[in-house]
Amino acid sequence: MKIVAAHLPAYLPGLELFCKMAQADAVILADHLQYSKHGVLNRNRIKTPEGARWLTVPVLTKGRGRQAIHAVEINNNERWALTHWRALQTHYSKSPYFMHYADRFEGLYHTEWRRLIELNVAGIRTLCACLKLDTPIHLSSEFGAVPGNKNWLVDLIKRIGGTAYLATPMQRAHAIHENDFTVAGITLIDTNPPMPRYHQLYGEFIPDLSMVDLLFNEGGHYLEELRKKNDARGFAGRITNTDFLSR
């Protein structure tokens, strides 16, 4: 059984993507879909003494109409990269694991990226390296997927040799049709990535932040331990809060 997951290629994504990657044999980043400025494609949140703060990558959208995610370009006339790197340094320098991973992120922000998808994939790969995840990443655009093709996900899963798909409750409710997968011979595996409470700086816990917050505060062992459990089981199975809170 080859298990495939899919996700939007967000900027410094949250925990959900990496939970999927810890269970899957391959992940598809759906960069052929239409870009939306509402969401986390070009922004995500970190924690500061004043609460959650958005880090936003400026992009070029004026006069460009509807764009696929993979076509969106970054506005490098703004000094966003320096701002983001300094924000991470300022707000996480006292976290237990920041210095352990700082060099990887410094390199990310000292590279000039032209397209948003290039930055986002590099950020995801950086986080994967810190989390010791080596799940292969595929971009939907590289397979010629285009907006409007309702069967793109089933088609891509089959093209990369997938036989099972990780489905979250949200995807089951709004994004996929079970019959399409059944007809294609693809097994749906339910997964419900947890939102565990973990140690944070600056007081009361804030959920739904970028994965960098968990990484800098707790290190990469969460997913490393989970992956070892999954390898021992020989099957991805369901992630539960206990997997993350059994330290």
Q: What is the mean pLDDT of the chain?
A: 90
What pLDDT was estimated at residue 231? 55
pLDDT digits (tens, 9 = 90+) for 174-226: 778 889 999 999 999 998 877 788 999 999 999 999 999 999 999 988 777 65
Domain count, the chain: 1
The rounded distance, in Å, linking the Cα atoms of 247 and 240 is 14
Domain span at residue 187 reads 3-245
Q: Which two tokens stand for residue 34?
A: 């239409």
Enter the DSSP assignment of 121: H
More confident residue, 58 or 241: 58
What pLDDT was estimated at residue 83? 98
pLDDT digits (tens, 9 = 90+) for 86-145: 999 999 999 999 999 999 999 999 999 999 999 999 999 999 999 999 999 999 999 988
DSSP 202-238: SSS---S--HHHHHHHH-THHHHHHHHHHHHHTS---
CA R_g for the chain: 18
What pLDDT was estimated at residue 67? 95
The rounded distance, in Å, linking the Cα atoms of 52 and 27 is 29
